[in-house]
Structure 1
């Protein structure tokens, strides 16, 4: 796989619209457990960017442009709820291990571009993926990533296209400050349990364990470490 591999197909406005509609329909479905994503969709603040393939760096600059703009817009109007979702056209046959590898390749590439473009790391979080206070940072704002793909073992993470949903860390802190975080978290876990038949063993509160373990959706053991290294000063 080369850095500038030919895209899966020529990108068009129609392709963008198709992926956007696909994700919106998925989030609207009655069984989808994330009430935060449902709230963002209802408010019109679930932003979707269509991209070619998750196992290629082809669209990384365009994705990073979107993250910088999204972070700036949030700082100008820090209202709940907002999410930035990148939906890739493919590949749709990745195993959980392959998806995890592709997701972290994109994370590393995007983080390196953040450093290259002179963006500072959000000081409210740690750039060390082994730290319980770890979050990613783009444009000076901390983000938590949720990965979705066709072959996810957890039904809540199963979607017809590889997808990375970037959620703002600051929004979780606002929910905590308002006394709403625990209730919302429990509601999501109950809905997820109803969908899967069991609670997700990977879910942990920020500050208890590194959130990096949750990004791909794959169940990992205690020896797992994130394939990520922040290349800036921090």
Structure 2
């Protein structure tokens, strides 16, 4: 396992601060529905990593490196409301279907690097995207991804740049154990309905349906199949 030390790829593009400030401002908006993201922002635990291009693997090693250290830091000090948001500089004109395809291309590349670097899959979740207990795994920790982009149909998923927000699955389990998960989930759904006019039909509880259907934010039908395939040992 990777220790919670200084990341190997410890440099930032010139627009790092600008993109981080823009995302923080978006989360801070009164209408933004995700109270978990707001809590992370208030605690200073909403990390932002700027990257070049969602269509390119250029930054994938740097992103994966940050995921490994994010996971290791969480194991060293488990605490609620920690998120890692990767904000891409381009492209800015994507349809929902294009964003979904590119998001899963990046996910597949990052997962392949996890295998290449000898990381085991978190055994508390499934690596099969058709399984109701599916989550991604990086550095031995399960992650749930939330995608944002300019042309998302759900207002809550809109942001001027493409974004992939990595949330630790274990945090949801802690909230369940504390009896807080259902209240928090309902609060988010009510706030989302207030700005969208309807509840998000893609939102399901872990274990009821595969969370893969929620990642991109696009409403998918029953025939949709996730393109992700874990290439390590099951």
Counterpart in the other structure of 1:91: 91
Paired with 1:217 and 1:75, the residues of 2 have a C-alpha distance of 29
Counterpart in the other structure of 2:170: 170
CA deviations on 1:21-66 (whole Å, 9 max, x unpaired) are 0100000000000000000000000000000011110100000000
Counterpart in the other structure of 1:180: 180
For 1:64, what is the secondary structure of its paired residue?
A: helix
Paired with 1:13 and 1:221, the residues of 2 have a C-alpha distance of 38
Paired with 1:19 and 1:33, the residues of 2 have a C-alpha distance of 20
For 2:88, what is the secondary structure of its paired residue?
A: strand
Report the CA distance between 1:13 and its aligned residue: 4.7
- Counterpart mapping for 1:39-78 below 5 A: 39-78=39-78
Counterpart in the other structure of 1:225: 225
Runs of 4+ aligned residues of structure 1 deviating over 3 Å after TM superposition are 11-14
- Counterpart mapping for 1:22-37 below 5 A: 22-37=22-37
The count of corresponding residues between Structure 1 and Structure 2 is 224
For 1:143, what is the secondary structure of its paired residue?
A: strand
Counterpart in the other structure of 2:142: 142
CA deviations on 1:159-190 (whole Å, 9 max, x unpaired) are 11000000000000000000000000000000
Counterpart in the other structure of 1:202: 202
Q: Residue 154 of structure 2 contacts residue 196 of structure 2 at CA under 8 Å; is this kept in 1?
A: yes
- Counterpart mapping for 1:98-177 below 5 A: 98-177=98-177
CA deviations on 1:109-135 (whole Å, 9 max, x unpaired) are 000000000000000000000000000
Report the CA distance between 1:12 and its aligned residue: 5.9
Paired with 1:18 and 1:173, the residues of 2 have a C-alpha distance of 33
Q: Residue 13 of structure 2 contacts residue 51 of structure 2 at CA under 8 Å; is this kept in 1?
A: no
For 2:80, what is the secondary structure of its paired residue?
A: coil
Structure 1: gaps (5+ residues): 1-10
Paired with 1:187 and 1:214, the residues of 2 have a C-alpha distance of 18
Paired with 1:36 and 1:84, the residues of 2 have a C-alpha distance of 12
Structure 2: gaps (5+ residues): 1-10
For 1:52, what is the secondary structure of its paired residue?
A: strand
Report the CA distance between 1:149 and its aligned residue: 0.1
TM-score normalised by the chain length of structure 2: 0.95
For 1:198, what is the secondary structure of its paired residue?
A: coil
**Superposition RMSD on alpha carbons, in Å?**
0.9
For 2:15, what is the secondary structure of its paired residue?
A: helix
For 1:192, what is the secondary structure of its paired residue?
A: helix
Counterpart in the other structure of 1:3: none
Report the CA distance between 1:14 and its aligned residue: 3.6
